[in-house]
Amino acid sequence: MDAVSAKTAPAVQRTSVIIILAVSASHLLNDLMQFLLPALYPLLKDTYGLDYVQIGLITLAQQMTASLLQPLVGYYTDKNPMPYALAVSMVFALVGIVLIATANTFGLLVLAGMVGGVGSAIFHPEASRVARLASGGRLGFAQSLFQVGGNLGTAIGPLAAAYFLLPRGQGSTIWFAVVAITALVILSAVGRWYAAHQRASLGKPVPKAARQILSRRRLTVAFLVIGGLLLSKYVYISSITSYYSFFLIEKFGLSAEEAQLYLFLFLGAIAAGTFIGGPVGDRFGRLTVIWCSIVGALPFTLLLPHMNLMGTAIVSVAVGLILSSAFSAIVVYAQELVPGKVGMVAGFVFGFAFGIGAIGAAVLGLLADHIGIVATFGLCAFLPFLGFLTIFLPRHKELHEVPA
Residues 6+ apart with CB under 8 A from 46: none
Q: Write out the H or E segment, with its range, that includes residue 54.
A: helix 52-79
| Of the ranges 155-164, 199-208, 263-272, the best mean pLDDT one | 263-272
Lowest-pLDDT range of 75-89, 142-156, 335-349: 335-349
- Quick: pLDDT tens for 236-282: 888 887 788 888 998 999 988 888 889 888 888 888 887 787 777 77
> Are 48 and 361 within 8 A, CB to CB?
no
> Are 134 and 20 within 8 A, CB to CB?
yes
Give me the pLDDT at residue 64, please. Answer: 77
Residues 6+ apart with CB under 8 A from 336: 286, 399
> Are 158 and 244 within 8 A, CB to CB?
no
Q: Whose CA is closest to 304, among 209, 390, 239, 348?
A: 239
Buried b (16+ CB within 10 A) or exposed e, 52-78: bbbbbbbbbbbbbbbbebbbebbbbbb
> Are 325 and 274 within 8 A, CB to CB?
yes
* Centroid of chain to Cα 350: 7
pTM, full prediction: 0.68
- Quick: pLDDT tens for 59-118: 888 877 877 788 888 888 888 888 889 999 999 999 999 999 999 899 999 999 999 989
Assign domain 15-199+213-400 to its CATH superfamily. MFS general substrate transporter like domains (1.20.1250.20)
